Structures are given as structure tokens and as C-alpha cells.
Structure 1
Amino acid sequence: MVAVDTAAPPGQGYGEFATLLQDMFAPLGFGLRSLTVPEDAFPGTPAGGPRINLIASRRSGRPICTLHFQMDTPPAGPGWTRPPLTLTRQGHLLYGLGTRRMKGAIAAVWAALRAADAVGLGLRFDPVLAFTTDGGQGANAHAGLRYLAEQGALEGHLVSLGGLAAPRLWTGSPASLDLEIRIPAAAGAAEAALPVLSRLTALQGRLGQGVDGPRLSITAVSAEQSGEASSPFCSLALHRRLGAGETAASIRAELDAVLQEALPPGHAATLREMAAIPAVADPHRGPNAGRWQQALRWGFGFGPEDFREYAGAEPSALGFVQQAGVSEILQAGLQRPGQPAQGPDECTSIDDVEALARSLLAYLADVPELPAF
């Protein structure tokens, strides 16, 4: 899996990776179908190749558990001391692009399902595997998962395997908006933007820049011209994390007030929403959360007193999943606390891959109680 380059951008390796997944999971009795995101489905920067998402299912009439994996990685970038597209073992560590974020988790699920089949272990859930293409920019950054959610392709409850290898219970994430302000700049881009930037900076100060709660970021400032016959304009790109009780309408009103204060009456500045990610609320409060916690204890050796709740500080594309009606979303993965999700010399450990496989096997197994490990 590591040898298949699924970096996005450019996003050109999805077809080859889909073929590899077919070869891995079809022998386990899974039927695979592809759902390609239409090029015009969402605004933003398109991928370099078709966004091929896969759904693998093996149905027997039991309740559905959807296991989710993001197929993309970022480009390797500088700083690697090992070949990023070669799986390299050093002691108990496995190095390679995607090992920690998702390719290691795919290997853990494959191992768990293969072990269950080998010993004839029945499953309490019918597993559905959702492999999505979510790399990119703007709304396209979450195109695969959002498209599957909107198409109703995600069923039952969902286990997201891009999370932590730690005794943590994810309690949700905030909503966010990406917006663009366009200001006519006939007298010069800097002169046009300066009063608006001044008031946006003041708004940033009032909101604060805390780990959680509302936050405003100015992500780009540029001077542009929309056409040969059009006047130049200044473009301000904004990212707004929503706090408790805030809505898209209240954020637009807040920014409209900024423009009214900064610009003369009758100004022609415009405010446009570019992308929005819904909040995730209480994903851990569902009928399967207790068993999931028990399975993680069995797989990783965590104690019952070790578990802590935590809320994500940044928006999550899983908001689209909950918005589509899948309310219970559980998380685990191979990222240890304090580790970056990805980066130079990305690695995971054999111990953690095995522990995640044990956890998944315990969770899916049709047994009334989990034995002591």
C-alpha cells in the first residue's frame, strides 16, 4: 500500500489504490463498488485524477458498522531520511508515507477480518468499509467523504480510523466557514483593503485565538482582476471557526457589520461563502460506545480509569456524516498523542497495528463478553 502514491495534490493514484484494495478485500468475501465524485460537485481546486471512492461490503443481515479510511496522504515533502514510498522496518517501527494516518489502519482491519475468517469467528456487525478521497483545497478538501454522505452511502454507525492510539473518547468538533470578501480597488488594492483589514484584526482580538471557541483567521490577501473589462479588486480569504450558539447567518451579519464600518455608504464590496463544515455533536453518545471502549481496552491494554473525553479544536469532515443522519461516530487510529498525523519519516509501530487489529476484532466479534487479555 505504501508503494502506491495517493498524495493529494496531485491526486492521481486513486485508481491504482482502488485496484489494490479490490485485491485485498475481495478474497475475504467483500463486494466492492466505486463512487466517483463528479468534477463539478463541489467548488475548489480539483484533483489531478478522478476521485474514486470505494465501498466494500459483506452483508448477512446483521446491523451495519461502517469503518472509514481516508485514502489520501499529503505529498512527501522535504525532510525524509528514508524513501517515503517504500515500507521500511527498523526494529518495531514501520516507516512510510501513510503508515500512521490510514494505510496502517487498513492493514489492521484486513488482519482482523482475515483472522476472524480463519477461525470461523462470527461477527455481530456486518462491516462496510468506506475508502474516501478527501485531499485537496477549499470544499474539495473533503469531497469524497461529503459525497458519500450526501449519496446515503454511509450506513449504521461509523468508526473513523484516522484518530488516536490512546484512551480517548472524542466528543465532537466545531463548525467552520470559509469566506471571501471582494473589495473594488480602483484606487489601489492596499488602499482599498486597509480599513477592512484593520477592523478584521480588531475582530480577531475580540474573538481571541484560543484552542477552542470562536476564532477568525485571515488566510490570504490578494489583488486580482476578474476579466479584461472589469475593474481590479482586492480579495480577502477568511476562515471562521464557530463558537457555541453561533450560526452561519450570525457570522455573515458580523462580517457585514465590519464592511459597513470600514467602507463608505453604497460600497460595492461583496461577501461570499466558499465552504462550510458542520459541527459534530456528541458522537460518542450512542448504543455502541461502551463496547468500543471495552474493545480498545482489550486491544491496547488500557485501564478503565485511563479514558478521557476530548473535543477536537478544528472542524472535522465527519460533520458531513452526522449531518447526513449517522449520529454515532467512534474514533481510534495509530497516531500517538504528541505525534503529528503526518510528516517526514512518518511511522507507526508493529505493536500499535496489532493492538488496533485486536481492538477491531474484539469490537466486531459476536461474543457477549470480551475475555481478559
Structure 2
Amino acid sequence: MVLAASDRIGQALDLVGSDEAAIVRDLGRLLAVDTSFPPGDGYGALADLAEDLVAPLGFSCSRVSVPDALWSTPAGGAHGERVNLIASRPSGLPICSLYFHVDTVPPGEGWTRPPLALAQVDGRLYGRGAADMKGTIAATLAALRALERTGSPLRFEPRLLFCTDEEGGLYPGIRYLAEQGLVEGHLLSFNGGAAPRIWAGCFGSIDLLVRIRGRGAHSGEPVGGINAVEEAIPLLNALMALKGRVERRVSAMPSPPHYDGSPLHGRLTIAALHGGQKGSSLPAAFEILVNRRYAPEEDFPEVLAELEATVRDVMAPTQVLDVETHVIGHLAPVSDPTGPHWPRWQAALGRGFGFAPEEFRAWGSSSSSDMGFVQQAGIREILLGGLGRPDNNIHAPDEFTTMADVVALARSILAYLSGDFEAQV
């Protein structure tokens, strides 16, 4: 008996719900590979695992490494080969490139369970990267298994892109792939949330490292010494004043529902301070890491120039021996990524998560994405989905997703790729 299209897709969607054991297995293996950025030295091991995961589904893989000269910075926090993996299985069908960034932020402190192991508690799946975004890889694998088991025809042939350095690197892997012409078809990014959202874009992000050099001395006899930390206090005050001005700059990009009507605005964060060793020594060096989130309406050179001018003008009169500024991370903003494939993806999200058509609305965010560089390379339309929710503890201790959301995302991916979904749109 040949199943009707509606029966095939119904059966495939049901199979996803019965595949939880495999989802847990795959996600557990993914979380166990430490791909924290910085330093990002686990990409080769993740590529090995990804090849193993996709091989049973008929994918062949190629590796593309970003040249060292593009991603290395004077800060030296990043090291290891920047291995990006492309998994494909040519079929002659139109291609949809599915994007995953494989790096995570470091686990950090405050976890109540091991961050690099999967923990299941009351339907929650805990681990660094569970929501952002290794859980989306497990969801995609579940969708592809269900399509294969039911023999469902495809509307699009998936091409899987496992990419590096989204979490703050100077040259993300997807940027390099796009600039080399290696992103085929249209692009579906999983760096988004589990929400009825039409992506309206996002802000850019700059990480600026400020290095201040003084002169060490005994704190009890500081003759000839220059305290780099104390000399930087006026700069910290100036950055806080600039923060106030920056955060009064409002973007026209629509804000998320949880903003309750408040607009998106620029952001400046003093993200890290490093200096000094012990009480008896004057600190000879001090580092300040500044993160600046800028709207699509702002111009990158002007934003950077404002930061650098603040440093230069404040530090010029001080006694310090030298001041350096280095851009150690940059993500370009995304502007209006909608296009002809969005209605189908919106319908697929509705099928997977149960969102009603009237629930969908467009909004952007002051968080950032490496998709801005993809747009600069000429790919304007970018579909967006994912597992993020406001309470998922993304970038915080005890990050988690839920099995319900992983299954719902898998069903959305399945519907979008399936040729049997045509009648449902």
C-alpha cells in the first residue's frame, strides 16, 4: 500500500515524537565535546562527531578551515584550528543550507550539575549548548531520520553547515564559507528562538580590548611606578558616561514582545577587567574589554571611531606608557532578512510548535548574529528558528532546553523539507 501524502507526513511527524532516546543520545554526545569560545580549540573533535552522526543518513562531508590570519587577534584568547564542516548529499533538488554554530560560551561558575554532560530533569535537558545551539543539531537529525524512515519525498535537499566562532570571534566560520561561495541555496539559521517570530534583523556587536601599560613598583615604595589600574579610572568613568549616551539611541527595528512596547536601543557593556597581582605591587598593566551593540542604522566605522576616540582623549593626559586598542570580535548587524521562503517556514513552525498564523509578528533584537556577514556576501534572505526562550539560561549557569521544544523544532524542520508539506501551506 502506498501512503497518501498526508498520511506520510503524519507518520513522519509521529516518528519524531517516538525518537526521544536517539535525541538524548545525540545531544549527550554533542554536549560532551567542549567547544567553548574562547578558546575554540574543540572544533576538530566536534567535526569528527558530526561526521559520525550524519554518515548513517547518507551525507558526505568536507572540512573548510578559516585561515589563521583572519581570526587571530593580539588578545591571544583564541587558539586551535577553525574547522567548519559541510555535510551534503547531492540529489538534484533545490538546496536549503541548515546553519549551526558549534561553539558555546564557556560554562562559567554557578552550575548545579555538570555543564559538559546532559542532565534530564522533569523534561528539561541541561548542559552548556543545550539551547544555544547543539540541541538544534539533535532536532535536525531527528527530522532527517523520520523523513528517511517513512520514505517521504523532499522539497529541499538539506546541506548541513557546522560553523565556528559565532560566540565572539573576529572571523566567524559562516562568514568565510559565504565569502568563498560555499553557502548554496537559501539559508535556514537555528540561532533563534522557539517563538512565532518573523525575523526583522538584529544589532551588530563589537568587542574592543583596551590595553594600558604602566610601570610596576613596590606599593610601599612606589618610586617611578605608574599604577595602570588607577590611571584607567577616568577611562572607566568616561565609558560609563558614553554608555548613557549610547543607550539613548533608539532603533526603528521592532522590539520583542517581552519589551512591552519599549524600543530597542544601543548598548555598551564593560565586560571584563584584568590587572594586578598582589597588594604589595603596583599593577603594571590593565585590560578593559568593552562590548558595544549597534543598530543597523549605525555605521560600523563611526561606532568604532567613537569608542577609540573616548579611549584616546581620556588617556592622553595620563602618565601611562602606552595605550592600545584592538577589535577582537565583530558581528555585523542583520537588516530585513525576509524573502520568498519565509511563508513556508512560518507555516512549518506553525505545524511543529502549534503556533496559529495570527500569533506571528516581526521583531528584531539587540543580540547579535554572524548572519550579518552572510548578508554582506550577497545572501539577503535568512530564515530563523531555534530553541531559545527568555528563561533558558542561555549564556548563564544551568542552560537548558526542553524535550518538547526539541521535538517541536524537529517537526518544523521535517515539514519544511518535506515534499508532502506542499498541500499544507
2:370 is the alignment partner of 1:301: no
Partner of 1:120: 151
Query: Quick check: 1:279 aligned with 2:307?
Result: no
**CA–CA distance in structure 1, aligned partners of residues 118 and 377 of structure 2:** 37
Change (3 A) 1:85 1:369: same
Say whether residues 1:170 and 2:222 are aligned partners: no
The answer for the alignment partner of 1:21 in structure 2 is 50
Corresponding residue number in structure 1 for 2:411: 358
Could you tell me which of 93, 96, 119 is aligned with 1:65?
A: 96
2:300 alignment partner AA: A
Q: Counterparts in 2 of 1:224-263, with a 5 A limit? A: 236-243=288-295, 245-255=297-307, 258=310, 259-260=312-313, 263=316
CA contact (8 A) 1:182 1:234 kept: yes
CA distance in 1, matches of 2:63, 2:57: 18
Structure 1 residue 124: Cα displacement: 1.5
Q: Which residue of 1 aligns with 2:393?
A: 340
For the residue of structure 1 that corresponds to 2:183, the secondary structure is coil
Find 1:31's aligned residue among 60, 63, 74: 60
Structure-2 change in CA distance of 1:79 and 1:246 (3 Å) = closer
Q: Tell me which of 256, 267, 271 is aligned to 1:215.
A: 267
> 174-183 or 272-281, which moves further after superposition?
174-183
Cα distance in 1 for residues equivalent to 2:117 and 2:287: 42
User: Is the CA contact (8 Å cut-off) linking 1:298 and 1:370 kept in structure 2?
Assistant: no
Contact 2:40/2:80 (8 A) holds in 1: yes
Distance 1:276 1:293 in 2: 30
TM-score w.r.t. length of structure 2: 0.73
Shift of 1:195: 4.5
Change in CA separation of 1:48 and 1:5 when aligned onto 2, cut-off 3 Å: farther
Contact preservation (8 Å) 2:296, 2:334? no
Query: Do 2:267 and 2:292's aligned partners in 1 also have CA atoms closer than 8 Å?
Result: yes
Q: Which amino acid aligns with 1:98?
A: G
Note the C-alpha offset of 1:78. Answer: 4.2
* Greater mean alpha carbon deviation, residues 148-157 or residues 120-129: 148-157
SS in 2 for 1:54: strand
State the 1:234 CA deviation. 6.1
Structure 2 residue aligned with 1:132, among 155, 158, 163?
163
Alpha-carbon spacing, 1:353–1:136, altered in 2? closer, same or farther (3 Å): closer
The 1-side partners of 2:366 and 2:101 are apart by: 20
Q: For the Cα contact (< 8 Å) 2:168–2:330, is it kept in 1?
A: no
Letter of the 2:160 counterpart: L
Deviation sequence 1:204-259 (CA, Å, 0-9, x none): 222236873233334455669xxxxxxx7765543332245422332355346544
**Structure 2 CA distance for partners of 1:206 and 1:67, relative to 1, 3 Å:** same
Q: Gapped runs of 5+ residues in structure 1?
A: 225-231
SS state of the match for residue 414, structure 2?
Answer: helix
Cα distance in 1, alignment partners of residues 105 and 308 from structure 2: 35
Cα displacement (A) at 1:363 = 0.6
Pair 1:40–1:295, CA change in 2 (3 A):
same
Name the residue aligned to 1:228.
none
1:93 equivalent to 2:124? Answer yes
Q: 1:147 to 1:256 in 2, by over 3 A?
A: closer
- Whole-angstrom CA distance in 1 between matches of 2:330 and 2:313: 24
Q: Does the 8 Å CA contact 2:203/2:334 hold for their aligned counterparts?
A: yes
What is the root-mean-square deviation in Å for CA atoms of aligned residues? 3.3
What is the CA deviation profile of residues 75-114 of structure 1, one whole-angstrom value per residue up to 9, with x for unaligned ones?
Answer: 4444444444444444533344433233322122112112
| Structure 2 residue 345 is matched with structure 1 residue 314 | no
CA pair 213-182 structure 1, distance change in 2 beyond 3 A: same
Structure 1 length normalisation: TM-score?
A: 0.82
Q: Measure the CA separation in 1 of the matches of 2:230 and 2:118.
A: 53
- State the distance in 1 between where 2:245 and 2:209 align: 20
Correspondence for 2:13: none
Deviations 1:117-137 (A, max 9, x none): 222222121211001122665
Partners of 1:75 and 1:321 lie apart in 2 by 25
> Aligned partners of 2:397, 2:290: CA distance in 1, in Å?
29
Alignment check: 8 A CA contact 1:165 1:332 kept:
yes
Aligned residues: 361
Distance in 1 (CA, whole Å) between partners of 2:60 and 2:95 is: 15
Distance 1:338 1:169, change over 3 A: farther
Q: 2:87 aligns with which of 45, 50, 56?
A: 56
Contact 1:173 1:280 in 2 (8 A): yes
- Cα distance 1:135–1:202, how it changes in 2: closer, same or farther (>3 A)? closer
User: Counterpart of 1:166 in structure 2: which amino acid?
Assistant: A
Give the structure 1 partner of residue 380 of structure 2.
327
Cα deviation, 1:302-325, whole Å, max 9, x if unaligned, reads 111111222111222221222222
Q: 1:307 to 1:235 in 2, by over 3 A?
A: same
CA deviation profile, 1:167-217 (whole Å, cap 9, x unmatched):
112211122333345667576535654554444433322223687323333
What residue in structure 1 maps to residue 136 of structure 2?
A: 105
Residue 148 of structure 1 aligns with which residue? 177
Q: 2:166·2:369 contact (CA, 8 Å) conserved in 1?
A: no
